[in-house]
Chains A and B, each alone.
Chain A
Amino acid sequence: MSGSNQKPKSDITTMSSAEYQAIAKKHEPPRAIFKNCFRAFLVGGLICLIGQCIQKFFMSVFHMSTTEASNPTVAVLIILSVILTSFGVYDKIAQWAGAGSAVPVTGFANSMCSAALEHRAEGLVLGVGASMFKLAGSVIVFGTVAAFIIGIIYAIFGIEGR
């Protein structure tokens, strides 16, 4: 900490936060939105294609219906994602693909697995147990609340469930 990146200029200390924001915004690199979207499309599409292949495999080998096959398909994708996360491969893919690897269910498993690995040093209960849902928790909470509200709306208006 020799203070090599502390500028002795006095105006940086007297600058208001609005001025600072304006300057910081000017120097922020522009996000390559089109390139990111293309990468997300490619990787997200590929993961879904792999899912479709696994689903087809379960349907043709174990003679399952489409709905029956979707649960084992998700489980297999999650195992693959956990293995890739354990070897540190998934996070490399995620850096390149952005939402393409985060939005599929593999990204959900990746967020849980990487949180579990990261907090392993704090112990099994306080680290792994308590931190596993640190990122995935919001998805489960908001999904559950939304599902509850929709279920209640159906019940109130007397619409038959499916």
Chain B
Amino acid sequence: MQFLWAFIIGGLICVIGQILMDVVKLTPAHTMSTLVVSGAVADGFGLYEPLVKFAGAGASVPITSFGNSLVHGALTELGRDGWIGVVTGIFEVTSAGISSAIIFSFLAALFVRPKG
């Protein structure tokens, strides 16, 4: 059942992105930034985690979950280490995504001739 909800919720978040681009006429960069900030604010109100529980990868794969993870890391370390945790914890959870994107993009640039 979660597979169906992953498809529907993931698809709907992408439709929101498409509407921001086509109707509000934002550039792709503005659209992505808006979605990331919305994800961060949603987690600030504690709304994103229930969505992840409900839709699984449908909520954790779109870029909104990036904002959610940034806030999550900051709040976890805020609870553990106090004030300084807000700064030290921001990239705690997202490290896997950012690091692997940097590493594999760099390897691709080393070994691949651009196509298309």
Q: What is the interface of chain A, defined by CB distance below 8 A to chain B?
A: 31, 33, 36-37, 40-49, 51-55, 66, 70-75, 77-79, 82-83, 85-89, 91-92, 98-100, 102-109, 112-113, 115-118, 120, 124, 128, 132, 135-136, 138-140, 142-144, 146-148, 150-155, 160-162
Query: A51 with B57: in contact, given A82-B105, A150-B74 (CB under 8 Å)?
Result: yes
Contact status B14-A143, CB under 8 Å: no
> A160 to chain B: closest CB distance in Å?
5
Q: How many A-B residue pairs have CB under 8 A?
A: 272
Interface mask (B1-19 → A, CB under 8 Å = 1, otherwise 0): 0110011111111110111
Q: Which residue of A lies closest to B90 (CB)?
A: A147
* Residues in chain A near residue B7, CB distance under 8 A: 45-46, 48-49, 52
Q: Which residue of A lies closest to B107 (CB)?
A: A82
Contact status A99-B17, CB under 8 Å: yes
> B65 to chain A: closest CB distance in Å?
8
Contact status A45-B14, CB under 8 Å: yes
Contact status B100-A161, CB under 8 Å: no
Query: A142 with B33: in contact, given A113-B104, A117-B109, A136-B101 (CB under 8 Å)?
Result: yes
* Residues in chain A near residue B62, CB distance under 8 A: 44, 48, 103-105
Contact status A37-B19, CB under 8 Å: yes
**Is B47 in the interface zone, CB < 8 Å from A?**
no
* Residues in chain B near residue A151, CB distance under 8 A: 71, 74-75, 78, 85-86, 89-90
